[in-house]
Amino acid sequence: MKEFLHKIVKIFLILVLITAAITIAVVGVVYFNHQKKLKEEAPLIATPPGQMVEVDGHQMHVYITGKEDAKHTIVFVHGSNMTDDVIAMRPLFDELKEDYRLVYVDRPGNGYSEAGCKDKSVATLTDETRQAIAKAGVEGSVILFAQTTGGIEATYWAEQYPKEVESIIGLDMYSPKEYESDQGEDKGFRYMLYLFARVGIIRHIDSAYVTNSYKLYTDKEILTRNALISKTSYSKDTYLEDKTIGDNARATDQERVYGKLPMLLVFANPLKEPYLSTDSSAKADLAKMQESYPDYNFETLYNEKRRAYFGKYDNVTCVEMAGPSTLYTYDPVGLADQMRKYIEKMN
């Protein structure tokens, strides 16, 4: 019996070693292929579309376009892991540039900005963005356009420097309250995302990359966006930002802003027509949900809680539009029209 158990243990250990060896070999192949592809893609992202400015010892990318003497300057505050947005937002910029001065900043470790793995408190993130636009020559008060988690930075900015912020326009913007319970405990999940991205496993996840489904971009722009995603998607800076998002939410007193500052919040709804008919994944998701809950009106319920939450403030205008969270990749004209109407009314 002992000899039999010894053989079983031996076979088990051999299988473990073989599995480990195969795993290491596969990861090695994926990693070296990733590094090879990065070198091939490097020329696509060698020259940033904007200017580089030094902030706290690292270079940050600031892109400025539009009407230089415009009455309003819009500063775009991107959400977590929005690493290609300076290119992705180009159709929206094109719709707005005749009327406004537009400023986009890549936070450290995102897009064209260098890594800057230091303090990721909301105070530091906001100060870095403020320094970056100041060094790029942007002065005066601004309208902040905040996407998703960028709403925490935008709210903090308006809270701490109220004279600098005329208004906030949010696209699927989260409030600090929505992240107050986050204690930064990733249980390995966030770190695994970071490792997968660095090893190159991301290249084998089709949904991580973009296509030109709605013919808004040139072939080169799509290649450039995907090159940026390959290089900086879920960087160490993004990982650290995600870990501190709860602390940043708790450090932001939204009640000093909400209810006082004029705000436009645009909520994207992928279950709304005409977008639903154009996106197979949205249709598949809806079909699965309807199987479990056939009596629910998912289109109406999709943004119901968030619209009710923000809608209680008289100074907040809420609008729902058909499309993905990155509305500017689907309906930049419609989004620009909503922004323009709101700013004109604000005036």
Report the chain's terminal Cα–Cα distance, integer Å.
87
- The mean pLDDT of 279-304, rounded to a whole number, is 90
> pLDDT at position 4, please?
61
CATH homologous superfamily for the domain 48-268+317-346:
Alpha/Beta hydrolase fold, catalytic domain (3.40.50.1820)
- 200 alpha carbon, distance to own chain's centre: 20
CB 270 within 8 A of CB 282: yes
- The mean pLDDT of 221-235, rounded to a whole number, is 96
DSSP designation for 317: E
pLDDT for 262 beyond 90 = yes
Q: How confident is the model at residue 6 (pLDDT cuts 50, 70, 90)?
A: low
pTM (whole model) above 0.85 = yes
Where along the chain do its domains lie? Answer: 2-44, 48-268+317-346
> pLDDT at position 147, please?
97
Residue 334's CB: how many other CB atoms inside 10 A? 17
Round to whole Å and give the CA distance between 177 and 155.
11
pLDDT for 190 beyond 90 = no
Return the exposure string of 141-150: e unless at least 16 CB atoms fall within 10 Å of the residue's CB, then b.
ebbbbbbbbb
pLDDT in tens, 95-119: 999 999 999 999 999 999 999 867 8
29-33, 117-121, 247-251, 264-268: which range is least confident on average? 117-121
pLDDT for 162 beyond 70 = yes
Percentage of the residues of the chain whose pLDDT score is greater than 70: 97
- The mean pLDDT of 324-338, rounded to a whole number, is 97
pLDDT for 1 beyond 70 = no
- The mean pLDDT of 202-226, rounded to a whole number, is 94
Q: Which residues contact 193 (CB under 8 A, 6 or more apart)?
A: 234, 239
Q: How confident is the model at residue 187 (pLDDT cuts 50, 70, 90)?
A: low
- Give the 3-state secondary structure of residue 167: strand
> pLDDT at position 163, please?
96
> pLDDT at position 84, please?
96
pLDDT for 122 beyond 80 = yes
pLDDT in tens, 193-203: 899 999 999 99
Q: pLDDT averaged over the chain?
A: 92
pLDDT for 17 beyond 90 = no
> pLDDT at position 321, please?
98
- The mean pLDDT of 19-37, rounded to a whole number, is 87
- The mean pLDDT of 229-251, rounded to a whole number, is 94
pLDDT for 186 beyond 80 = no
Round to whole Å and give the CA distance between 220 and 232.
18
Round to whole Å and give the CA distance between 117 and 137.
25
Q: How confident is the model at residue 183 (pLDDT cuts 50, 70, 90)?
A: confident
pLDDT for 245 beyond 80 = yes
> pLDDT at position 53, please?
97
CB 230 within 8 A of CB 38: yes
